[in-house]
């Protein structure tokens, strides 16, 4: 394993297509949807960005920030989305490092609080996130947990 590097997509914009394909492979959301969000970020249209962990040149973790992560609480924005770490790189602090990077980057731009939806209990709390409320995921039969980082 090479040294891990944490970047925003703005630091390596040439990775946009690779990153969009990687996120699409993890979550099944169309690659074009990721490309649209990433292009808006790279062009400066939005400060809601994309964050990656690289092992050498390979993406091993990542997440983005979007207005709404497919739930009914449109008033709670922005949302961390597409949080994923490769199985081979789990339990190394990658997601926590990326979460902290996202929160600090957004705070530096005057964007706070930030939200996320998850079914995980106990993980996000380690990084300063607090359970906020339940939300209804688009097309989902069960409610999901919505967290806030202030």
Where do the structural domains in the chain lie, given as residue ranges?
4-111
Please tell me whether the overall predicted TM-score, pTM, comes out greater than 0.85 for this model. yes
pLDDT score recorded for residue 1: 58
- Among candidate residues 27, 83, 26, the one with its CA nearest the CA of residue 50: 83
- Mean pLDDT of each 10-residue bin along the chain, 150 residues long: 90 98 96 97 97 97 95 96 97 96 97 96 95 93 95
The mean pLDDT value of the chain amounts to: 96
* Number of helices and strands in the chain (H, E): 3, 7
- Top CATH class of 4-111 equals alpha beta
Residue for token pair 């944490």: 6
pLDDT in tens, 63-100: 999 999 999 999 999 999 999 999 999 999 999 999 99
CA 73 – CA 20 distance, rounded (Å) = 25
Is residue 58 within 8 A of residue 25, CB to CB? The reply is no
CA 145 – CA 81 distance, rounded (Å) = 13
């Amino acid at each position: 394993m090479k040294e891990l590097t944490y970047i925003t997509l703005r630091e390596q914009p040439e990775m946009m297509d690779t990153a969009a394909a990687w996120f699409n492979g993890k979550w099944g959301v169309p690659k074009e949807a990721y490309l649209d969000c990433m292009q808006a970020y790279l062009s400066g249209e939005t400060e809601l960005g994309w964050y990656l962990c690289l092992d050498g040149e390979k993406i091993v973790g990542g997440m983005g920030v979007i207005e709404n992560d497919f739930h009914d609480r449109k008033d709670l924005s922005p949302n961390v989305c597409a949080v994923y770490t490769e199985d081979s790189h789990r339990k190394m602090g990658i997601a926590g490092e990326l979460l902290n990077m996202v929160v600090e980057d957004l705070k530096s731009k005057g964007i706070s609080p930030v939200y996320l939806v998850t079914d995980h209990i106990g993980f996000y709390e380690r990084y300063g996130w607090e359970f906020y409320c339940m939300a209804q995921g688009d097309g989902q039969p069960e409610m999901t947990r919505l967290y806030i980082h202030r």
